Structure 1
Amino acid sequence: MVSTRSRSAAPSPLPEVSVSDDGDVRHLHLGTPWIQGSMRMAAPFDLELEYIQRMMAWLLFIDPASVRERHAMQLGLGAGAITKFCHKKLRLCTTAIELNPQVLAVCRAWFKLPPDGPKLRVVLADAGEEIKNPMWQGTVDGLAVDLYDDNAAAPVLDSEAFYADCRALLTEDGSMTVNLFGRGSSFVQSLEKMALAFGEDALWAFKPTREGNTVVLAQRTPTRFKRGEQAERCADVQQRWGLPTARWVRGLRPVRL
């Protein structure tokens, strides 16, 4: 049985945040039945949703021995899955930028999001404005962009200028992953905007999940795998951090526009 667990403390123009439980899996909603994030309660720091797992594909493009020295940033906290995984499993410096204070409160109360500390911080701000702050530029190794409104109709931020600002956040070997999903979104148009900001040879994409989420990866510095290297790196990521990467070997490919 699905049960709603949270209520807003005060009226707000931002979407109402609610939580539902479906067996051992807890979901976060923004005023609609659309699932904005999930957590398996028996494993709160694992990545439950397939597309969220794919958002970690930036790990394939860096030296795994250097991961703990890196910085991950999530735009749009959702249920906090990526932020928790990066903080608890990868043990690296992690930042999330979230507009809605209710989302942060619910993540802390119902989704095991740890409090801020030396290697974890959640910034309550408009992501499109906050990423222009010079303090973040050139500091992010793995940038996860998952910005949707309560209706999950299209990305809230999806312009060439926005993607250029995202590119400016990245270190030289850093990557951005973006979730493209929604009834009103255009995959090709989004890719074209990313290509203008990053360069067409910097883009990679997964095949869509069964739910319709397509994860795109954009590199600050375009690279290509040598023969057999992608399979080796996928196997290493799975061994180190338990991500199910076997399908990434053939599922993640350079974009051809």
Structure 2
Amino acid sequence: MYLNPKCMQSVMKLDAPDELVCAYSRAVMGFLLFHPRPSHILLIGLGGGSLVKYCYRHLPDCRITVLEINADVIAMREQFMLPADDERLRIIHCDAISHLQEHACTADVILLDAYDEDGLVAALNTAEFYATCQHQLTVSGVLVANVWGKPSALAGMLSRLRHVFDRQVWWSRSEDSYNLIVFATKDKNPSRPANTGQHPTLQLEQLTTRLLSIDPDVSFEQPEEELQALKHSLASIMVADDKVPQTYADWKKLVTHQQL
């Protein structure tokens, strides 16, 4: 799925539609490190439905709600082999900001993965919207955001999330792209399960070694000091990487090689 000619939004294997092909989507599932047994997941942004299909299949005790503003994206759900709405799955055509202001969703996990033809949706990455998401989470809930941009812009996003979530924020770059995956926990003492082998294809143990953060107990006298610390952290990972494919053909070769 492409929302514009230059940016691949989602991809699916026809013979394995539930598989998470993109590394960023496997990293997003890292919320299982913080909340291994969610009962309700709220997704903001449907895309090709990769995350929906994985959660629907591999988390059978979990209810899934999806908020998607683009009717054309929803219209493609059959082509991307998404299951029909039932007692566990509901896809809602709506504006996420208005919907969450008007309805109580009470989610254990919120996956914020909202892009349009212009890229990252700015209105869904503000302090106000982060606060709305935080309010909708259960006591031990987790917000996961898939974001993209220059380190200076990403530092601002991380700063806003740290303010809303009392500095309980971790981040990691995707292995095959420059997407930044961010985890913000409502619980000040989030649990980390010792056994991550239940989902071997996600490679969660490897993700734990790549997670970065600033110690929540560290305080900054000035906001600019925090921004500088965040920029320094991002500068260590948001750098030119020869391993990141530059074209779809290169990316396909990488995925094929990894699966051999």
Residue from 173, 179, 184 that aligns with 1:207: 173
- Does the C-alpha gap of structure 1 residues 191 and 223 become closer, same or farther in structure 2, counting only changes over 3 Å? same
- Does the C-alpha gap of structure 1 residues 35 and 195 become closer, same or farther in structure 2, counting only changes over 3 Å? same
Q: Is the 8 A contact 1:147 1:157 kept in 2?
A: yes
Is 2:210 aligned against 1:251?
Answer: yes
- Does the C-alpha gap of structure 1 residues 156 and 34 become closer, same or farther in structure 2, counting only changes over 3 Å? farther
1:213 alignment partner AA: N
Cα distance, 1:155 vs structure 2: 4.2
1:173 aligned residue = 140
- Does the C-alpha gap of structure 1 residues 154 and 165 become closer, same or farther in structure 2, counting only changes over 3 Å? closer
Residue-by-residue CA offset, 1:139-194 (whole Å, 9 max, x unaligned): 21111101122132564521100000010111111101001113697110001111
Residue from 78, 82, 96 that aligns with 2:51: 82
Partner of 2:9, secondary structure, is strand
Whole-Å Cα distance in 2 between the matches of residues 130 and 116 of structure 1? 19
- Does the C-alpha gap of structure 1 residues 122 and 44 become closer, same or farther in structure 2, counting only changes over 3 Å? same
1:250 alignment partner AA: T
In the comparison of the two structures, how many residue pairs are matched? Answer: 215
Structure with greater strand share of residues: 1
2:24 aligned residue = 51
> Percent identity among equivalent residues?
27
Is 2:159 aligned against 1:192?
Answer: yes
Residue-by-residue CA offset, 1:207-236 (whole Å, 9 max, x unaligned): 3434100100000112256xxx66x34x33
Whole-Å Cα distance in 2 between the matches of residues 194 and 171 of structure 1? 17
- Does the C-alpha gap of structure 1 residues 124 and 153 become closer, same or farther in structure 2, counting only changes over 3 Å? closer
Unaligned runs of 5+ in 2: 216-225, 227-260
Moved more, 38-47 or 118-127: 38-47
Whole-Å Cα distance in 2 between the matches of residues 96 and 154 of structure 1? 16
Cα distance, 1:29 vs structure 2: 1.0
Across the aligned residues of Structure 1 and Structure 2, the Cα RMSD in angstroms comes to 2.1
1:219 aligned residue = 185
1:157 aligned residue = 124
Whole-Å Cα distance in 1 between the matches of residues 83 and 16 of structure 2? 14
> Pairwise mapping of residues 4-153 of structure 1 onto structure 2 (< 5 A)?
28-62=1-35, 64=36, 66-67=37-38, 70-91=39-60, 92-108=62-78, 110-136=79-105, 139-152=106-119
Is 2:199 aligned against 1:238?
Answer: yes
Whole-Å Cα distance in 1 between the matches of residues 65 and 121 of structure 2? 24
Q: Is the 8 A contact 1:180 1:215 kept in 2?
A: yes
Unaligned runs of 5+ in 1: 1-27
1:106 alignment partner AA: M
Cα distance, 1:129 vs structure 2: 1.3
Residue-by-residue CA offset, 1:68-121 (whole Å, 9 max, x unaligned): xx001110101111111111221210010000111011122x110111111100
Cα distance, 1:254 vs structure 2: 2.9
1:4 aligned residue = none
Instruction: Work out which structure has the larger RCO, using CA pairs closer than 8 Å and 6 or more positions apart in sequence.
Output: 2
